């Protein structure tokens, strides 16, 4: 669905369902007509051009993470770190937390996880492919990332389905409500309680998993507290689960919309990482991230004072024609390099970027190995409604099995 917003007043409303359907015409006008945008009603500013978004990510002095990265009013508090961990911290607290977490959340641990990711992907595909037509979200993409996170953490298999339900509930947003709904708050509390119990269990009886590694992490006698580990595990659910689900669904959706390019992927599986990268650029999961202005910030002749909320729009930056040729064309194999801002940049660059890419590569590889092709039922596809994440809640597909 393409929405014509030309000739109208530019209104960026991250809670608007029409915006969720297709934000890119809005972004284009923002980049061209209001690169520093102001929304008086919702009380925020926004940057949409690639250069500005990239510099915003890197400027952790003028732009603070202290109140978190969500626009939702109930989430923007000095207590945001309790559920968003290092994503809601500035240095030196952020640097300390990241250094300790990196002791457990290592590249080696992620590499060693790949066989389990592949096994989980095969298990879910075995079930999904019992039918030629199935919901790609509920049967595969919505299960795998949370199960991978649970595998990392040491969550017992019988608990994983319930945790997936809670994770879905945390990110749900209701039409007309510009904040976190009560159901999401309840799901968040249940998740936090579960993770607190899990940490207590592995403190008593350590095992070979991320939770135990975080409990053991130490730098010069400094260790993570239980509450800090709970916050990081919760952050993984928000930043690592839902975004990877959406990455998978967006890749499958845009692959189907560009059948000639998808055929090249099926013919040559070495193109799967390129499929992932172009999806991250063209329609990335994480579209909007908030910052709090910490000192006078002058852009385009306007000074934004401290205390204001400034949104960085990586979803717009990745479509900026000032940086990418034919940015609105989905072109697997295009030169992207270091220009991608889907995982942020600077001090807060996404710690889970390697995990997300590995999951997507493995999941899509397993899919294309098992089928000859697929079609998406666009008429029955349903987008998720979120103030910052873009993707599908339901994506029915019909596959042609090998």
pLDDT of residue 1: 43
Q: Please answer whether residues 169 and 184 qualify as being in contact, where contact means their C-beta atoms are separated by less than 8 angstroms.
A: yes
Q: Is 200 domain-assigned?
A: yes
User: H helices then E strands: how many in the chain?
Assistant: 17, 14
What's the pLDDT tens digit per position in 374-388?
Answer: 999 999 999 988 888
What's the pLDDT tens digit per position in 53-102?
Answer: 999 999 999 999 999 999 988 789 999 998 889 999 999 999 999 999 99
Q: Is 110 domain-assigned?
A: yes
Q: Residue 290 and residue 293: Cα distance in Å, rounded?
A: 10
What is the SS3 assignment for 363? helix
Q: Is 32 domain-assigned?
A: yes
Q: Crossing angle of helices 144-153/242-257, nearest 10°?
A: 150
Instruction: Give the bridge partners for 218, in sequence order.
Output: 223
Q: Is 4 domain-assigned?
A: no
Query: Which stretches does DSSP call E strand in 68-189?
Result: 133-135
Q: Residue 201 and residue 159: Cα distance in Å, rounded?
A: 14
Read off the pLDDT band of 168 (50, 70, 90).
confident
Q: How many structural domains are present in the chain?
A: 1
As a whole-number percent, the residues of the chain with pLDDT over 90 amount to 81
CATH code (residue 395): 1.10.630.10
232: Cβ–Cβ under 8 A, 6 or more apart, which residues? 85, 86, 97, 101, 214, 224
Q: Is 384 domain-assigned?
A: yes
Q: Is 3 domain-assigned?
A: no
Q: Please answer whether residues 24 and 32 qualify as being in contact, where contact means their C-beta atoms are separated by less than 8 angstroms.
A: no
Q: Tell me how far apart the terminal alpha carbons of the chain are, to the nearest angstrom.
A: 32
What is the SS3 assignment for 47? strand
CA 221 to chain centre: 33
Q: Is 9 domain-assigned?
A: no
Q: Which DSSP state fits 239?
A: I
Q: Positive or negative, the Cα torsion across 264, 359, 277, 2?
A: positive
pTM for the structure as a whole: 0.93
pLDDT of residue 178: 58
Read off the pLDDT band of 164 (50, 70, 90).
confident
User: For strand 36-39 and strand 44-47, is the pairing parallel, antiparallel, or unpaired?
Assistant: antiparallel
Domain of 203 in residue numbering reads as 17-401
Average pLDDT over every residue of 240-244: 88
pLDDT of residue 174: 57
Residue 4 predicted with pLDDT over 80? no
What's the pLDDT tens digit per position in 114-144?
Answer: 999 999 999 999 999 999 999 999 999 999 9
């Amino acid at each position: 669905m393409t929405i014509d917003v030309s000739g109208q007043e530019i209104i960026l409303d991250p809670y608007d369902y029409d915006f969720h359907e297709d934000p890119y015409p809005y972004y284009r006008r923002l980049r061209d007509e209001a690169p520093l945008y102001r929304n008086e009603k919702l009380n925020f500013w926004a940057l949409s051009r690639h250069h500005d978004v990239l510099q915003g990510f890197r400027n952790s002095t003028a732009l603070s993470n202290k109140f978190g990265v969500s626009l939702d009013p109930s989430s923007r508090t000095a207590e945001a770190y309790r559920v968003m961990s290092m994503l809601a911290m500035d240095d030196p607290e952020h640097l300390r937390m990241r250094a300790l977490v990196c002791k457990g959340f290592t590249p080696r641990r992620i590499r060693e996880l790949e066989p389990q990711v592949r096994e989980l992907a095969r298990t879910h595909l075995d079930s999904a492919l019992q039918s030629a037509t199935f919901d790609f979200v509920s049967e595969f993409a919505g299960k795998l990332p949370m199960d991978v996170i649970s595998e990392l953490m040491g969550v017992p298999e019988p608990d994983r389905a319930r945790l997936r339900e809670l994770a879905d509930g945390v990110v749900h947003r209701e039409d007309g409500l510009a904040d976190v709904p009560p159901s999401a708050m309840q799901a968040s509390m249940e998740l936090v309680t579960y993770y607190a119990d899990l940490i207590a269990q592995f403190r008593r009886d350590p095992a070979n998993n991320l939770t135990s590694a975080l409990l053991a992490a130490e730098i010069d006698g400094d260790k993570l507290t239980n509450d800090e580990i709970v916050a990081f595990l919760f952050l993984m659910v928000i930043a690592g689960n839902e975004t990877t689900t959406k990455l998978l669904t967006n890749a499958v959706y845009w692959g189907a919309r560009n059948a000639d390019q998808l055929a090249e992927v099926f013919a040559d599986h070495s193109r799967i990482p390129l499929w992932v990268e172009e999806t991250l650029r063209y329609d990335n999961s994480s579209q909007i991230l908030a910052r709090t202005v910490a000192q006078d910030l002058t852009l385009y002749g306007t000074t934004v004072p401290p205390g204001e909320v400034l949104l960085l729009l990586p979803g717009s930056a990745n479509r900026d024609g000032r940086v990418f040729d034919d940015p609105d064309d989905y072109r697997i194999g295009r030169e992207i390099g270091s220009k991608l801002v889907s995982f942020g940049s600077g001090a807060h660059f996404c710690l889970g970027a390697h995990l997300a890419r590995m999951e997507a590569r493995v999941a899509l590889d397993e899919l294309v190995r098992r089928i000859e092709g697929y079609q998406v039922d666009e008429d029955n596809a349903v987008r998720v409604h979120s103030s910052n994440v873009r993707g599908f809640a339901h994506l029915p597909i019909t596959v042609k099995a090998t």
